[in-house]
Chains A and B, each alone.
Chain A
Amino acid sequence: MAHQNHQYSPGTARATIGLGIFLVSLLILIALFAAEVLAGFGELDQKMQTAITGLPGISSVLGLAMNLFHCHALTAIKVVFYVGAIIGLAVAARAGRETRGVASWLNLPVCRAILALVLVFLLGVVFSAEGAFGIVGTHRDALRQASVFGLLACGMTLVIIGGGIDLGVGSVLALVSVTFSLMSIHWGWQPWVSVPACLLLGAMCGGLAGTITAGFRIQPFVATLAMMVFARGLAKTVSGGTKISTAVKNPDGTFRYVDVPAVFRFIDSRILDGNLSVVTVIFIVCAVLTWILLARHRWGTHLYAIGGNEEAARLSGVPVTSTKILSYVASGLLAGVAGLCQAAQEQQGDPETGAGYELTAIAIVVIGGTTLTGGRGGIGLTLLGTLTIGYLEKILSINAVPEASRLMLTGVIIVAAVLAQRRKR
């Protein structure tokens, strides 16, 4: 105990070895994947099979695994390296907790969020669904599907950093989606009227919830729970309880079909030769704007201060009530943007849509590493969280994992991610 040797730290050595294993596995996986994309999955799999048969020891082990899990030789090999990568990372992260050297950056929230994303992404590389993960369309769709959740998560991040929570976003999304459909399809309003009107509606919902919680000091959980129920009811009232689709009911009870409004088609379209969805662009733009407000505007700083210590913030002259209300307004506004996207993608306004989305948004924020207690986090983390959840969903779906298992797996991943994010003293 008295002999402390400061020259040599076993932690640093272990961290270096762990990181080395991780990086080597990572490179091999990427190389295998690149070869697979270039040569085609079937081709490479054949070669691997032949190669394995040449090595009697390995072939029996891998062969057993292949038969057990009905997987290809190539996939089995990739699984081996994936497990290697995880073990390497775990070793490095564990060592990183004890040392200040090489691996201490592994404990930064950003790094952990990136690593979670990398691990999920590698999952796609390993289980590429016979090469489907190598196609641009897969990624485009993963990003498109994640975008609506990402929009909600950006607003949620603001509210959570300020020490609150917004359970109303899923319902507000439905309300805006219904209203937008009604305006665009039934009433034939031009987008330069309907879009601002819908965004205003979303912002007002947020403002109402914010005023109730911050102005009247009701717990945000309760106030936004009320908004969640209220906005859902309002969406059903506005829509008359039915889906607002292009099948418009005539006064005599028959249906006539109208064209999908141009604004719907635009939002649902793709740019860059069909390689990027407009919805994704909208998400990225909103995320950047939110980031600018949070990181470069006084309001964002005030939000962090309130989430970190509300009383200290108030006694430092921070306008607590208005700052908090504005965070809910922003959340409602972003839920409104998400509602527009949802309506355009579904080509209808469904008053039942978006149920449970608020929980996915919270999961994204938490997986990114923003703490639920407020005061710590950021949009960058939420962006990473969005990609993690989005890719996880996509990878499970291209591998035809049934929804039941998908939900259970997502639950497990959320816990694992939050465990990995836990702050250590």
Chain B
Amino acid sequence: MLKAFFKDARHYQVLFLGTFLLYGTFILRWDTHWDHYIAIFAVALLTQLAGIRFLRLPAHSWKSAMITTLGLCLLLKANHWGICALAAFLAIASKFFIRINGKHVFNPGNFGIVATILLTGQAWISPGQWGSGAILLFLVGVLGSAVVHKVSRLDTSFVFLGTLMALQAARNLLYQGWPFDYWLQQFTNGSLLLFTFFMITDPVTTPNHKRGRIIWSILIALISFYLSNYHFINGAPIWVLFFIAPLTPLFDKIFKAARFEWIKTTVMKTSN
């Protein structure tokens, strides 16, 4: 029974993201608003259920909605539960309505966060909420890679993080001469690691071909580096992913490969 449970990589993801949420709430003492979490959870699941009912999506796609729910709870802050509910709706609905070549364009969590910030101005992300516990880096990294390994998108994570680390090292350590811990602190940021291991690894919204994915990851890292170092944009990767996502179909056109499916042998229409 347990074996069956772990067969679907999304089960891992839900467990891990859930653990992070507990860690943030009870150990890091985030300013937790349970009504916000409940709103995200309820609206995301209801929207997904509507998709299952009316768009004939497979019933197991609610698991993807759970992943989106947890991602939103972990990253998005707002003044009112209604804004959280809007974010959850936009996130899930984007999967149904913004599609190219039968594949949705945006990572739903990413779309929900950015669209809500842009539309309402009443939501924000808190990149500083994680602290710099190196243990967290280790755990998130290792656990995250276990997850992506199962859905074979590990390349995206490592290429993105590696590129960003190299660029920052060149700038902070070699050029500016900051001490090592200055550089390291940037990569002990939980938001960045969640982004790296849980958002850009979304197999449905990343390019299908491996070479395409590598170029795509480098591109995200380059632009993020530029925006955060020269324009002081907080949470730059999240913004970059939002604006680069529409290019994925182009990458798929150039680099042709088979599309990802959550559970082989069945035809899926969804992702997280």
Whether A and B are associated in the same complex: the answer reads no
Mark A residues whose CB is within 8 Å of B. Answer: none
